[in-house]
Structure 1
Amino acid sequence: MSDPAGSERVGLDAPGKARALYEARGTRVPIAPFTDADPSLGMAEGYAIQRELLPLLLADGDRVVGYKVGLTSTAMQRLVGVDSPDHGPVLASTVYRDGDALPLDRFIAPKVEAEIVFVMGERLLGPGVGPTDATGAVAGAAASMEIVDSRIADWRIKLADTVADLASNGAVAVSSRVVPLEGLDTRLIGMTLTRNGELIDTGAGAAALGDPLAVVAWLANVLGEHGVALEPGHLVMTGALHAAVPLAAGEVYRAEFDRLGPVSLRVTAGAAGSEGEVAA
């Protein structure tokens, strides 16, 4: 997948950089930022590398079950120096159920973000998609927590680094309760995040591009430029509603959303979790 950010440069060696990220995912040994060697790399170069990385992961038997959108808040866009979100695929191997154990040894430097996730009910293909179209194509919304992770050492990422690294995806825990959108104003969905029962942050749906449904429309239009559609059953992660929180073994996180209900994760040191997929 790509982004309307121009053409990547000649001599980028996107396949080589994708291979380095692929190996870092397998070994859990992070690599230096690509932007250390070339600070001028931008969004277009990042997507060029992402396009090379995804087939390597799919060749191992994984599959795309949706997409995540990041940088959906004004504060994060200002921090990174962009005026547009970024996106990456959600892979089947990274989807957890509510209450699952999340093994830290699957990640390098994971952090948790509470987000509203949509489950697609109908095919949605851009361009020309607006929030009303997105509303009609979505089956419902659910509570979720995204685990972001970086194959770039010490999270020293710039825009090209995170985009190349599948928008810093790690995993996602999704509630099995999918709430229809009728009578639901997703902008006003409030959220609380607790760690071991103690409140650590709050947020609301409007933090994601002003309306999480606008995130779905944006994503459909960007993917549609390359003939890629959001398909029935696809998950769409709409962006963090608060600052990312580092994880440690022994912690229990619970995100509770108005109207959507809760979703929780138990963080463990080893590979004790069970992975699953969410059905609409």
Structure 2
Amino acid sequence: MIETHPDATITDAYRIQQEQVRRWVSDGDVVKGHKVGLASKAMQQQMGVDQPDYGHLLAGMFHLEHQPISAASLLQPRVEPEIAFVLGRRLSGPGVTVADALRAVDFVVPALEIVASRITDWRISIVDTIADNASSGGVVLGSKPTLLSDVDLRLTGCSLQLGGELVATGAGAAVLGSPVNALVWLANTIGPLGIDLEPGHVVLPGSMTRAYPVSAGDTAVADMGELGTVTAVFTA
């Protein structure tokens, strides 16, 4: 979009995103959470941006672990390993603190976010990805819930395998120092827009590694140690 509309701003991009979400909801989809994108230095460097963004997660984006996901239904898909928050209480910014965020989290699970882009060859700016709902394509959640009191998310390590080969390692501290910081950033960023994080919502705080392309026939596995593993299977 930035190539055809060079004067477009981040504010313009979020308005476009919100209009897309409004249309999806009016067509019968349901908002089930939000994602923070570009939260780690690795992702910012990969995409050539210098700040996080956010997008919406719709019910139709959620896929079951180990069940086939059609690669053909996704545009230039890539996977990112993340620690997903499942909320037990509402978070309404601005003014949300780390203490507020910790109280609001019910549990965490390992997750693989699938990012996808309608921009050719991922030649995106921050404006492009925001307008494209932060490049949200899908999400696979692991099935092992963990209480925050039982884990230090900053020290949680992750290994990402594609086709049985190790392609990346990372840790929770790569995500704004802690994934909890990304949750606070999100609540305080969308609160002034009249958007709350609701009980039961899933929040993806950002990737612990770079994003890696996937295609039909690929199996992606993220191993997060004591948090467990999560697997996404891509088919034609």
Determine helix, strand or coil for the equivalent of 1:176.
Answer: coil
Per-residue deviation, residues 106-161 of structure 1 (Å, max 9, x unmatched): 11210111111100011111111111211110001100000000112221211111
> What percentage of aligned pairs have identical amino acids?
43
Letter in 2 for 1:139: D
What's the TM-score once normalised by structure 2's chain length?
0.95
Query: What is the distance in 1 between the residues matched to 2:219 and 2:18?
Result: 35
1:205 aligns with 2:169: no
Long gaps (5+) in structure 2: none
Long gaps (5+) in structure 1: 1-33, 270-280
* Residue from 240, 245, 251 that aligns with 2:212: 245
Query: What is the distance in 1 between the residues matched to 2:123 and 2:41?
Result: 20
Q: Residue in 1 aligned with 2:48?
A: 80
Q: Residue in 2 aligned with 1:175?
A: 142
Q: CA RMSD in A?
A: 1.3
Per-residue deviation, residues 172-208 of structure 1 (Å, max 9, x unmatched): 0001222111131111110001112211111100111
Query: What is the distance in 1 between the residues matched to 2:43 and 2:66?
Result: 29
Determine helix, strand or coil for the equivalent of 1:202.
Answer: strand
Query: What is the distance in 2 between the residues matched to 1:265 and 1:166?
Result: 21
Runs of 4+ in structure 1 over 6 Å off? none
Pairing of 1:1-280 with structure 2 (within 5 A) = 34-77=1-44, 80-82=48-50, 84-269=51-236
Is contact 2:43–2:207 with CA below 8 Å preserved after alignment? no
What's the TM-score once normalised by structure 1's chain length?
0.81
Is contact 1:111–1:247 with CA below 8 Å preserved after alignment? yes
Is contact 1:42–1:159 with CA below 8 Å preserved after alignment? no
Of the structure 1 ranges 71-80 and 186-195, higher mean CA displacement relative to structure 2 is found in 71-80
Closer/same/farther in 2, CA of residues 40 and 81 from structure 1, 3 Å limit: farther
Determine helix, strand or coil for the equivalent of 2:226.
Answer: coil
Determine helix, strand or coil for the equivalent of 2:158.
Answer: strand
Deviation, 1:75, is: 4.1
Query: What is the distance in 2 between the residues matched to 1:244 and 1:103?
Result: 18
Is contact 2:49–2:125 with CA below 8 Å preserved after alignment? no
Is contact 1:143–1:261 with CA below 8 Å preserved after alignment? yes
Q: Residue in 2 aligned with 1:274?
A: none
Letter in 1 for 2:48: V
Is contact 1:130–1:214 with CA below 8 Å preserved after alignment? no
Letter in 1 for 2:204: M
- Number of equivalences: 235
Determine helix, strand or coil for the equivalent of 2:196.
Answer: coil
